[in-house]
Structure formats: structure tokens, C-alpha cells
Homo-oligomer: A and B are copies of this chain.
Amino acid sequence: MCPAPVNDGDRRGYIIPIGGGEDKDVNPTILQRFVDLSGGSNADIVVLPTASKLEDTGERYEGVFSNLGAGNVSSIAISGREDCNNPEFAERCGNATGIFITGGNQLRLSSILGGTDVAQVIRRINARGVPIAGTSAGASIMSEHMMAGGEADQGPSEGGAVLAPGLGLTNAAIIDQHFSERNRLGRLLSAVALNPFLLGMGIDEDTGVFIGPESILDIVGSGTVTIVDGSDMSYSSAHSANRNQGLGMLGLKMDILHEGCRYDLNLREAFPPLEEDNNVCNL
């Protein structure tokens, strides 16, 4: 599903996929920035712990966001599709100034939220300017084409990526998380091979991607983000490979972004940190 349209005079809110394992205590720069974007002491943040089967996930994030200065935080106990059409839950999401989707299993998210009132509300408030953040499974669910599973510890292969429809907050990229830690380049490439219009975005742990209203993103956190662009590929064996066979993909572009780097999703172009931000210089 394409992102909800932005009305005249509005600006789309930030979309913030996080690679999982974000720092919550010592150096919580990613979550702090999300709280600030949500309004800080005026924020009304709603946590959706649906992806997780742990009972205290929502409560844990409530505490974290309160500690980071959020004015109001509550979590919504959505555990089945009927909850997603509960008018009270839809209304609480509709009034939120920030939504946070926790980690767990992204197929729980897509199969429970998909096509419900809550999903509609989240898409609509994001188009109106409200930031939506998600970590791990909560990051994957954001894209139109969601990485639902696949093969780790191998190169790209036929059948190496399993896709499912996601929430569609962005259709510019397919998002993978725990990226370097779980050796997921192969499955991300397998997805890009299926249709190179997809930009592959692999996010490491403790790393957040802040996608702004103009589709320019910047990186916060201690890891890196790998962007794979297959639009100029001269050759791919995706359509002729046998099941599980390794894929050839020639002419890929790749950018590895660290904190402060930016990427323009429309131009498909990466930019180094601004000089005034730090002492990192060009080559």
C-alpha cells in the first residue's frame, strides 16, 4: 500500500525505523530524538507492543519515554484484530503526537494490524505530521513491501527473501534490521533482486534512520546503515535461477552510512556528515 496522501499545508511526519537493540539507558540518543520530535514535555506517545509476546514490553517503553521527558505515554494492549477496530484504541492513536511500535515478530504486526482502523489511523496521522518510530519488527512493518523472513548466512539466492505486505508508511525502501549482527545482506539483496525499484535498507542494532518529510534521511546511533541500490544493475539471474541457487547481481551501488550521514531517497544519493557537525572530512 502506498503512503497516505499529505493534505495541502501539511508535512508528513518523520518515519523512524530502528535496527533493534537501541540504547535505552546510557546513551539513548535515538529514543531521545523521537521523544523530542513527538513534542517532548508536550508529547502524547502511544506504544504498540503488539509484535512482542512479552507482557512487560509496553510498560518498559512507557518508563523509558517518561525518563526521557515525554509528557504523556501509554501503551495499547492490542493482541488481536478485534482490538484494532476498537474505537477507543483508534481514538487514542488518532490523538497521539508520536507512535512507537516495539520489536517482536513483524508477521504478528502485519496479520493483526493489516487493514484495520488502527492501521488506517497510523497512516493518516503520519501524513498529517506525527512521527512514527519502530524498532526491529516495528521497523520492518513500516515499508510497503515488508521483509517477513529469509535466509541468513548466505549470499543472495532464489527464494532467499520472504516478503509480505507491510503498513506502507514508506514505499521507497524495503527495511531490514539487526542487519550486520544477523548477517542479512544476502536476504536484502534477494529482495532487491525481485524488483530493483526497491531500495534495500539494512539497519544495524542501536541505529535509527530518521526519514524526514522531504524523503531525506539521517542516521543516529552507534552502528551503520547499508543502502543497496539495484537500479543500475546490468544483469541479474533472479528470473532464471533455480530454487535456493545463488544469484548473480552485477552493477549494484552500495552506501554505508554512519551517524550524521544523510541519504536522499528520491535522488538515491548519499551525503557525508556536514563539516560543521564534526571533524570528519572528505577523502
Contacts and interface: CB of A to CB of B under 8 A. Distances in A.
Interface of A: 153-156, 179-183, 185-186, 189, 196, 204, 222-224, 226, 228, 233-237, 239-241, 245-261, 270-273, 279-283
A193 to B, nearest CB: 9
Contact of A153 (B181, B196, B256): B181
A251 B255 contact: yes
B246 A156 contact: no
A45 B109 CA distance: 59
Contacts of A245: 222, 258
A255 B252 contact: yes
User: How many identical chains are in the complex?
Assistant: 2
B261 A255 contact: no
9 contacts: A153-B182, A189-B256, A224-B246, A235-B270, A235-B272, A237-B280, A246-B258, A250-B271, A252-B253
A53 to B, nearest CB: 26
Contacts of A248: 224, 256-258, 260-261, 272-273, 280
A183 B204 CA distance: 14
A279 B253 CA distance: 26
A234 B155 contact: no
A181 B204 contact: no
A120 B184 CA distance: 41
Interface of A is mostly: loop
A251 B283 CA distance: 12
B253 A155 contact: no
Contacts of A180: 153-155, 183, 185-186
Given A189-B256, A240-B279, 15 more contacts: A153-B181, A154-B204, A155-B224, A185-B185, A228-B254, A233-B283, A234-B283, A239-B281, A240-B280, A241-B258, A248-B256, A248-B261, A248-B280, A250-B271, A252-B254
Contacts of A253: 251-254
A78 to B, nearest CB: 33
A150 to B, nearest CB: 13
A249 B237 CA distance: 27
A32 B80 CA distance: 57
A252 B251 CA distance: 10
Given A234-B283, A235-B272, A250-B270, A224 B156 contact: yes
B256 A156 contact: yes
Q: Which 5 A-B pairs have the closest CB atoms?
A: A183-B183, A155-B224, A235-B272, A248-B258, A250-B270
A239 B281 CA distance: 9
A29 to B, nearest CB: 14
A240 B281 contact: yes
